[in-house]
Amino acid sequence: MLIRCRHDGRSAENEIWNGAVLVKDNVEFVATCMFGLEKLVAEDIEALGYERTETIDGRVTFRAPLDAAARCNIFFRYAERVLIKVGSFTARSFEELFQGTKSLKWSDMISSRDAFPVKGHSIRSTLFSVSDCQSIVKKAIVTQLSQVYGISIFPETGVKYQIEFFIINDVVTMMVDTSGAGLHKRGYRPRANLAPLRETLAAAMVRISRPRAGVMLLDPMCGSGTIAIEAAMETCGIAPGSGRDFAAESYPFISPGAWSDAREEAKANVRLPLHETEGSDIDPEAVEIAKENAKRAGVDKYVRFSVRDVLDYKKPSPDTRGTVVMNPPYGERMGDIESIHALLGKMHEVFEREIPAWQLYILSSDIEFERWFRRRADKSRRLYNGMIRCSLYQYFKKR
């Protein structure tokens, strides 16, 4: 199915507006993510019924109808951005970059009034200067649009289309961002404590811990509450993007109804929680921030926060089953590293005494974490908190 789209936002079945033709039911999208989360992003894609076509470090490509941009932005729990793939080509010189970019039909999306800033990345490629590549890409897009619209100066006062290029091993992928602010910015966390955990990573930690009915999820060093809030949102079926706006809501070629339909679908998926969720922290101010964030996320009724030192933790009752998911402080983030190492050893003693059969999922960038925690992990998984390389240490064998 082809959709012919006027740049004033009105469809025109028998009209091609400035040559703009979009293939509405067969679009390639790229979902970007932090390294280590590609498999979870792919599962999100397939859960929505879309076809995954390629996975590389930090990005998953898939095919879906154009209006799927709405569902993906609202429902994706682990991705950082959703981008429309405009095209790809090989470029080892600036001339090849210019010609390859110019050959793409940018006028299918961008009108003579619209803004189109450019940013990108280059990895293991002949063209390594990102600033030079940005200039070439911008010039090529202007040239292509000039040929269509017959003008040489573009006011860029209309809809903003953020152009992103990604060059890896000399293969250039050109994309248009649909998300705006990164998808980890759910909208519930205007305030956070020192060195906050990214929401997408917190959600991934929860997913990896395999939450299940009747098993409490506890973060005993919760800070501003991100892990506990993401756990509560997941168990309640709350779509992570249901409380925010996205860049592509202003794109005239994506139906406004797609966004309203996706939000209605998200509302219909909300359910009562399948498990209890708790968070605690020694810092009263952090706990107050966590409570405020939980209220904005719509889960304040389903997650309990309290002021408590992790070393004072007591098992709620003899028959309580639970999983600990936590992100204790580490040297790159905050505090005195010697004190943190001592705390890890004492924390191990508390867990061994109070909850020896509970599963533990602990994120740390300290390569000697197991030494200081005094217990070797049953499994570890490499993840990234922003640019900080971490490991998720997993303890699931019952003692």
Within 8 A by CB and 6+ apart from 272, the residues are 236
Is-above-0.85 flag for pTM? yes
Q: Which two tokens stand for residue 256?
A: 């406004």
Q: How far, in Å, are 220, 288, 316, 350, 354 from residue 313 at the CA level? A: 8, 19, 9, 7, 8
- The alpha carbon dihedral of 157, 158, 159, 162 has a sign of negative
CB atoms within 10 A of CB 399: 7
What are 306-348's pLDDT values in tens digits? 999 999 999 999 999 999 999 998 754 445 788 889 999 999 9
* pLDDT tens for each residue of the chain, 399 residues long: 333 344 443 333 322 323 334 567 789 999 999 999 999 999 999 999 999 999 999 999 999 999 999 999 999 999 999 999 999 999 999 999 999 999 999 999 999 999 999 999 999 999 999 999 999 999 999 999 999 999 999 999 999 999 999 999 999 999 999 999 999 999 999 866 666 799 999 999 999 999 999 999 999 999 999 999 999 999 999 999 999 999 999 999 999 999 999 999 999 999 999 999 999 999 999 999 999 999 999 999 999 999 999 999 999 999 999 999 999 987 544 457 888 899 999 999 999 999 999 999 999 999 999 999 999 999 999 999 888 899 999 999 665
- The alpha carbon dihedral of 84, 90, 96, 100 has a sign of negative
Closest of 227, 206, 213, 372 to residue 299, by C-alpha: 227
What are 160-216's pLDDT values in tens digits? 999 999 999 999 999 999 999 999 999 999 866 666 799 999 999 999 999 999 999
